[in-house]
Structure 1
Amino acid sequence: MKPAPDWRGWTRSFLVTALLLVALLFSFIAMLDPFGSRVGPGQAARPLMDLNQRFMYPQLVRSGRYDAAVFGTSTMRLLDPAILSQGLGAHVVNLAMNAATPWEQLQMVELFTRKTVAPKMVLWGIDQTWCDADATTPEKRLTPRPFPPWLYDDKRWNDWPELINLTTLEIAARLFMHKLGYMPERIRGDGYEVFTPPEEQYDLARARFHLFQHTGGVAPELSPIVPPIAVGAEERAAWRFPALDWLDSAFAALPASTQKLIVLPPLHLGGLPREGSAGWQHYAACKAALGTIAGRHGAVIVDYAHASPITRDDANYWDPLHFRLPIARRVEADLIAVAHGGEPTADGAARVLQPIR
């Protein structure tokens, strides 16, 4: 007769082995620290080995290496912080994140404000989502992309439980391979990444497919509506831009000495409300409210979100949101000039609203 299986002993051995394996994997993750949870002032951030900027960028702020930053969505990500650093006389990091909601941007700005001893400048790209009436509702605060609030608070102990998962293990493995010289970093150490296709692969016909895919493949009518659509006084009075209150508070928390540039990025004209439409008038009212906030905090607005030689030209774009690298270089030059009290390129593409003092 065969002896009964020792299930209790087998279970004990299995649990001990599993615990040892978890401990080994956790030690591997903790040693490599792929999200830079332990990074503090004066310490180098870890190489950025994942494309989710929400997880990668907080360590850049905590490193204390940067006194100026770019914020916003992917419409600001092609601005090269190395070029801006040289032109502005600052140490610039690009902290703009793909499809970042106003709330997510606010978390990054607040972290930068808390962790930067003397913030010299912020360049904040404000997209149309800031003008949405429901921009501050709980369901609009996040996107399908994971957001780690534990990397944005000042408690380090609560980071550790969040690290025990397969995604973090994968990123830690990438970091290990990078240290061995087998894998390049995914994003440059100052947050810059050219996420658009190589310029030599640009195809205007394909770009127009993306530009006009929401209008049946036909270029939309972009000329102004004359006369403008009538919008009643009652409807205008009901317009609210609650996310701008967040912007107001964020600027108030920055030192008065911090130079503040608000950038309305140059979307393709087809990605903006048609001039004269009710949507265009709503956007104009939002811009006016933004101007009031800018004036209150001494911020300068550089507005590209209107009809101009840039926004009318299909060949400047990959899709309605994303301009090409030559336009990024143009915007950088404009912002550097404006920051030094000069004028942008004189073709009307950049409208500069100086604060009223």
Structure 2
Amino acid sequence: MRADPSVATTAPAAWRRFAVTLVAAAALLLAGYLALALAVDPYDTGRPRLLARDGVRPQGPRTATASRGRDPAFTAAIVGNSHIQLVAPARLREATGIPFVQLSVPGTGPGEQLLVAGYFLRHHPHARALVLGIDSAWCTGDPALPPLKPFPSWLLADDALGYLRGLLRIRVAAEVVNRIGWASRKAPRRAAPDGYWDYEPDYLALGAPDGPGWEGFRTRRAPDDPDPNSGGPAFPAAERLRALARGLDPATRLVVVFPPVHAPAQDRAGT
């Protein structure tokens, strides 16, 4: 039994048309999604948008920082991690008359914090003050200053192509939908504009500091572990901070704070 030669001739052409149609449809779908995401601006980065709604819905500081860090209502910022998160910007404003925004992100190290500071300064080149919370994480010897936990660097980077790549995430696509629903309400609930979040009740719920709920927070270097700064620059984070300080407006005050977490982190005597 022989195959029909007409079918054998048309089959490859039909598959080619199907493949071309599939690729074209996928490209159009991708372009349509990116156009929608850019227009919606899910995290309020200030890029071209159709939804003229300032701020973001209640969410974590990792993504809310993009909106808060560019807000012209603030001329000073607090940057760090949970060690300086409890510093209330409203109290600093009362004491100094300067409108502060809290841009601290829990679980971050010097790399992420310098990125946040740089983002704020790009949008506030004549900022009145920048407060940086410095802790043991800044003692790393790794010049790459890798993030301690996943961090949306693409959201704060001054890179249009990187931003477009960042939009190609399932979680971001979900936020595009959430943003449309949130912005369509008459009076949507907004994340705190000044970024203040009192996390103390969450930690108190863990019980006593030496209890089982705190195991994940005890990270100490054993005496025989190698020095993290051996074989490289003593403090690469300090070099990056020095470069940031050199680029500040002469009127901007840089305040470096060492939160008092050293003593409570020590082992109890006799243990």
> Structure 1 residues 143, 37: CA separation in 2 closer, same or farther (over 3 Å shift)?
same
Q: How far off its partner does 1:203 sit?
A: 4.8
Q: Is the 8 A contact 1:111 1:152 kept in 2?
A: yes
- Paired amino acid for 1:145: P
> Which runs of 5 or more residues in structure 2 are unaligned?
219-231
CA distance in 2, matches of 1:33, 1:22: 16
Q: What is the SS of the residue equivalent to 1:93?
A: strand
Q: How many residues align?
A: 244
Q: How far off its partner does 1:95 sit?
A: 1.3
Q: What is the SS of the residue equivalent to 1:261?
A: strand
Q: What is the SS of the residue equivalent to 2:83?
A: helix
Deviates more, 1:1-10 or 1:202-211: 1-10
Runs of 4+ in 1 over 6 A off after TM superposition: none
In structure 1, the partner of 2:264 is 270
Is 1:259 the counterpart of 2:253 in the alignment?
Answer: yes
Match of residue 211, structure 2, among 206, 209, 212: 209
In structure 2, the partner of 1:137 is 143
Deviations 1:200-245 (A, max 9, x none): xx458454415864899xxxxxxxxxxxxxxxxxxxxx99444223
Q: Is the 8 A contact 1:85 1:91 kept in 2?
A: yes
CA distance in 2, matches of 1:176, 1:258: 37
Q: How far off its partner does 1:72 sit?
A: 0.8
Match of residue 47, structure 1, among 56, 63, 66: 56
> Which runs of 5 or more residues in structure 1 are unaligned?
217-237, 276-357
CA distance in 2, matches of 1:254, 1:23: 39
Q: What is the SS of the residue equivalent to 2:60?
A: coil
Q: What is the SS of the residue equivalent to 1:76?
A: coil
Q: How far off its partner does 1:184 sit?
A: 4.5
- Paired amino acid for 2:137: T
Q: CA RMSD in A?
A: 3.9
Q: How far off its partner does 1:94 sit?
A: 1.1
Q: What is the SS of the residue equivalent to 2:113?
A: helix
In structure 1, the partner of 2:151 is 146
Deviations 1:122-169 (A, max 9, x none): 22111112234x1x432x42234034256332x445523432222211
CA distance in 2, matches of 1:118, 1:44: 25
Q: Is the 8 A contact 1:77 1:96 kept in 2?
A: yes
CA distance in 2, matches of 1:87, 1:249: 29
Match of residue 168, structure 1, among 169, 172, 176: 172
CA distance in 2, matches of 1:56, 1:204: 26
Q: What is the SS of the residue equivalent to 1:57?
A: helix
* Superposition pairs of residues 1-357 of structure 1, within 5 angstroms: 6-39=14-47, 45-47=54-56, 50-51=59-60, 53=62, 55-132=63-140, 134=141, 136-138=142-144, 140-149=145-154, 151-153=156-158, 155-156=159-160, 158-181=162-185, 184-185=189-190, 187-197=191-201, 202-203=204-205, 205-209=207-211, 213=215, 240-267=234-261, 269-272=263-266
Deviates more, 1:123-132 or 1:251-260: 251-260
> Structure 1 residues 19, 74: CA separation in 2 closer, same or farther (over 3 Å shift)?
same
Q: What is the SS of the residue equivalent to 1:98?
A: coil
- Paired amino acid for 2:247: A
Q: How far off its partner does 1:33 sit?
A: 0.7
Q: Is the 8 A contact 1:73 1:98 kept in 2?
A: yes
TM norm structure 1: 0.56
CA distance in 2, matches of 1:266, 1:211: 22
Percent identity between the aligned chains? Answer: 20
CA distance in 2, matches of 1:214, 1:64: 38
CA distance in 2, matches of 1:119, 1:77: 20
> Structure 1 residues 120, 49: CA separation in 2 closer, same or farther (over 3 Å shift)?
same
> Structure 1 residues 127, 25: CA separation in 2 closer, same or farther (over 3 Å shift)?
same
The structure whose RCO (Cα within 8 Å, separation 6+) is larger is 2
CA distance in 1, matches of 2:176, 2:200: 26
Q: Is the 8 A contact 2:143 2:237 kept in 1?
A: no
> Structure 1 residues 174, 21: CA separation in 2 closer, same or farther (over 3 Å shift)?
same
Q: How far off its partner does 1:118 sit?
A: 2.3
CA distance in 1, matches of 2:209, 2:123: 40
